[in-house]
Amino acid sequence: MSSRKPAILFALIAMSLDALSVGIIIPVVPQLVKSLAHADPLFAPRALGIMMGAFALAQLFAAPILGGLSDRFGRRKVILISITGMTFDYVLTALAPTLGWLFFARIVAGLTAASVVSVNAYIADVTPPEKRAQRFGLVGAAIGGSFVLGPAMGGVLCVINLRLPFWVAAGLCGANLIYGIFVLPESLPPGRRRAFEWSRANPFASLKLLLATSDLTRLGTGWFLTWFGMGAFPVAFVYANIMRFAWNPVQNGIAIAVFGLTQVIVQALLARRFVTAFGERTAARVGYACTASGALIFALAPHAWMIWGGCVLSGCGSLTMPAIRAMVSSTATANRQGEAQGALSAVEGVSNIVAPLVAGEVFAIFSTHQAYYLPGAPFLLTAAAACTAIWLMGGLKLARIGA
């Protein structure tokens, strides 16, 4: 048992540093893309949307492949290779002289960011079943805290030098790699490994489950709309605030941190109590209403101080996520729980490909100085998606759904 303690500690540190390194660059990537789009500044949001879509596409296909490889060759090798790739990606990004170089770095990031699958499998390997919920809860808290701290750090570092946040992220990943090389033991003994099968690496294989009933189709569509609406945030939030209110990286970074902190508070402290009191369907609909309200503020706010309220309301929208997962889980038998959650992951992956492309294009169109000038236009799509999801949740008839 003694060998398991540093393994769990490594998993917590690994996930925290990964989340922190990603959080650091969130408010900075739009600035870097803009600086590299010399000829046409309005091409920057389109380029950012394409890069984010490519990242999500790479991650969608890489996640099940890395998971299968970790089942075949062990968790340790795959985790360390993934961390190496993330470190390489941040160095590439820090040095990127062109958008093409940056695009390649984002592809590398998507392929290697899927290491979360192997880390979660590692935790399951070294944790007794009765303690897994607690351990995964610790991981979620560590990731949430890192996402709160990361954007604020990135905003401050960006003021010093635009490339500095990427070097810091590379340093964090590099430290994580060195720690893993010397501390991380293998969790999957040879006798428990299985052959790699390409059929298991299909990220869309479980989607058919969401077509089994009309209720599951509604829930799957609602999950797609959840992540589609969120696609506007990383693409348009920073650019819109710069154009409308002349915000600097520190202000944007702190605002994103407020959004992340609200999500952590809602999911860690409020979601379970709200669902117990009002039911899953009501929780989902309230979450969507908060998302729509926050998005309308981002789209239409005449004063900069209102953006802070929008961040809090949008963060409260995360109440939707555990509610949807619980409703989907309630429809699946015990031996199909993995398939059910896998189906949601596939829907999320598809949405994360489509959403930034649409958001980037809409932002570019509505940011030209014409009669319909509205940099916050992508958030109107977020509000529309959330309102559509509220309607979808109203038609559900699942037994466990509250009033």
Domain locations in the chain? Answer: 1-183, 202-403
Distance, CA of 298 to CA of 234 (rounded, Å): 12
- What's residue 2's pLDDT? 40
383: nearest Cα among 229, 237, 235, 240: 229
Q: What is the DSSP string of 221-278?
A: HHHHHHHHHHTHHHHHHHHHHHHHH---HHHHHHHHHHHHHHHHHIIIIIHHHHHHHH
- What's residue 189's pLDDT? 74
Q: Which amino acid is at 138?
A: L
Residue 161: exposure state from Cβ atoms within 10 A (0-12, 13-18, ≥19):
exposed
Distance, CA of 311 to CA of 259 (rounded, Å): 5
Q: Which two tokens stand for residue 21?
A: 């390194």
Distance, CA of 306 to CA of 313 (rounded, Å): 11
Task: Give rounded-to-5 percent helix, strand, coil for the chain.
Answer: 85, 0, 15
Q: What is the CATH code for 1-183?
A: 1.20.1250.20
Q: Which amino acid is at 252?
A: N
Contact assessment for residue 240 and residue 45, using Cβ atoms and an 8 Å cutoff? no
Distance, CA of 360 to CA of 383 (rounded, Å): 16
For 21-52, the pLDDT digits (tens) are: 777 877 888 888 888 876 566 677 888 888 88
Contact assessment for residue 153 and residue 26, using Cβ atoms and an 8 Å cutoff? no
Same fold across 1-183 and 202-403 = yes
Distance, CA of 105 to CA of 96 (rounded, Å): 8
Contact assessment for residue 74 and residue 54, using Cβ atoms and an 8 Å cutoff? no
Distance, CA of 266 to CA of 274 (rounded, Å): 10
For 186-225, the pLDDT digits (tens) are: 777 777 777 766 666 677 776 777 787 788 889 999 999 9
- What's residue 221's pLDDT? 93
Q: Flag residues of the chain having pLDDT under 70.
A: 1-7, 38-42, 113-118, 120, 124, 129-142, 196-201, 206, 332-339, 341-342, 369-371, 398-403
Q: Which CATH number fits domain 202-403: 1.20.1250.20, 3.30.930.10, 3.30.300.90, 2.60.120.10?
A: 1.20.1250.20
Contact assessment for residue 17 and residue 121, using Cβ atoms and an 8 Å cutoff? no
Helix 232-245 to helix 29-36 angle (10° resolution) is 70
